[in-house]
Amino acid sequence: MAHSVCPWWLGYFLLNPWRRRSQNPASILGSYIRPGMTVLEPGPGMGFFTLELARMVGSSGRVIAVDIQRKMLDKLKHRALKAGLAGNLEARTATPASMGISDMAGKVDFTLAFSLWFTSFPTPGTFFRKSQLPRNLALHFYWPSQPDTSRQRCLPELEAAAQAGFHIVEHPAIRKSQAVLLRKAA
């Protein structure tokens, strides 16, 4: 399958308020995120989950949003500013070779990767090999629950996660998605 990046303008459709009926960020992430945490969100697009993450970590926490598309990040920053959440949001531009987060080693408490590898990384396992993921973190991985994006298609990513030292600790129930909570031991 050829690698493709989600077009920046599609980000507007992903912000659809109706999406909250099946994928409410507060409901999905509420049991994992606490005030003061540092959360990494690779591939945030225009911030469907990001703004809620920023609310949840509060003024003492921090959300680091990393995307390869500057236009997505610009819109995300604009939305965060309008919502009064820009103070605890850091937007970083990634490259296909690196997420540029090596300085975050040991500082990230949780990573949210929602349908990330289908749009941002060219080959299975790239996310785990090239992203310089910090150690000691929980990683929540989601993928759409559609026939062409079944668990079978995600197996290479889950195998790469295992090779990188992550293990599955939970299968959260999320409508119209499949999900795993991965954890990497110290």
By residue range, what is the domain housing residue 51? Answer: 8-184
| Domain-located, residue 3 | no
CATH number of the domain enclosing 46:
3.40.50.150
Give the pLDDT band (50/70/90) at residue 1: very low
| Domain-located, residue 104 | yes
| Domain-located, residue 142 | yes
| Domain-located, residue 91 | yes
Q: What is the mean pLDDT of residues 125-140?
A: 56
Residues in CB range of 82: below 8 A, 6 or more apart: none
In this prediction, residue 181 carries a pLDDT of: 80
Least confident of 25-39, 47-61, 137-151: 137-151
If one counts every other C-beta atom within 10 angstroms of the C-beta of residue 152, the result is 7
What are the start-end ranges of the E strands in the chain?
38-42, 62-67, 89-93, 110-114, 138-144, 166-170, 177-184
Structural domains counted in the chain: 1
Q: What is the mean pLDDT of residues 52-76?
A: 93
In this prediction, residue 130 carries a pLDDT of: 52
| Domain-located, residue 1 | no
Q: List, in sequence order, the alpha helices (H) in the chain.
A: 11-14, 25-29, 50-57, 70-82, 117-120, 126-130, 151-163
* Cα 63 from chain centre: 11
Residue 11 has pLDDT above 80, yes or no: no
Residue 48 has pLDDT above 70, yes or no: yes
The residue among 155 and 181 whose pLDDT is bigger is 181
In this prediction, residue 129 carries a pLDDT of: 59
Residue 44 has pLDDT above 90, yes or no: no
Q: What span, in angstroms and rounded, lies between the C-alpha atoms of 164 and 114? A: 19
Q: What is the mean pLDDT of residues 15-43?
A: 82
Give the pLDDT band (50/70/90) at residue 122: low
Give the tens place of pLDDT for each residue, 88-121.
999 999 877 777 888 887 788 888 877 655 445 5
Give the pLDDT band (50/70/90) at residue 127: low
Percent of the chain predicted with pLDDT > 70: 64
| Domain-located, residue 14 | yes
